[in-house]
Amino acid sequence: MGEKLIGFTAGTFDMFHIGHLNLLKNAKSRCDYLIVGVNSDQLVEEYKKKKAVVPLDERMEIIRAIRYVDEVMRIDSLDKVVSWKKKHYDLLFIGDDWKGNPRWIKTEEEMQKYGVKVVYLPHTEGTTSTLLREKLVEY
């Protein structure tokens, strides 16, 4: 038997919803061991220009409780090389709604240098954290 195939994905996972679950389930089906990074509150504010509704510790605990997840880590940088240097993974999973995005084209090129394949998984249409945020405002 060969070595374990290690997968990695990261996100904010604020107001956890079915799209998040589908991403984790699909990612786990393609690897033996799945590491999930959860973006820190500071990182979320830096790149999304808004605060997470659910605090980091709670978001990490939610992710940790999901059966498809083998390990959880805090993420303080969008640079995937930073996370790879901490946890040498083989596959990097992201939703296919990012395919063709300049940032992800660059990420693919960078990760290829480390032997990491970027795998685009089907994006779940419908529920998003942004949509949930808008619904909360309506109430």
Kindly give, in sequence order, each residue whose CB lies less than 8 Å from that of residue 22, ignoring residues fewer than 6 positions away: 121, 122, 124
Indicate if 117 belongs to the active site. no
| Active-site entry in 4, 50, 51, 135 | 50
Kindly give, in sequence order, each residue whose CB lies less than 8 Å from that of residue 94, ignoring residues fewer than 6 positions away: 9, 104, 118, 119, 120, 121
Indicate if 48 belongs to the active site. yes
**Nearest Cα to 8, choosing from 61, 63, 56?**
63
| Active-site entry in 4, 25, 28, 48 | 48
Among all residues, which ones are annotated catalytic? 48, 50
